[in-house]
Structure 1
């Protein structure tokens, strides 16, 4: 296997892994949103 073939193979594997990561993030985002959301509310009562 030449160096060029190895780079092409690793590039393809990297793209496949990246695609799975993006799809997993899109699927997991609605499930994890309650964990990320802050329960702290900040109010600003500055005079106008």
Structure 2
């Protein structure tokens, strides 16, 4: 996530393997952009 002042924050999350919305609290109120990168779990 990039804050309005240009500060970058990184947060690793685990998503549930079920349908429907999943809310993730970032704790950042002035986010300018958010990038979500998905990867497969380790085997």
How high is the TM-score relative to the length of structure 1? 0.18
How high is the TM-score relative to the length of structure 2? 0.19
- Computing the radius of gyration from Cα coordinates, the structure with the larger value is 1
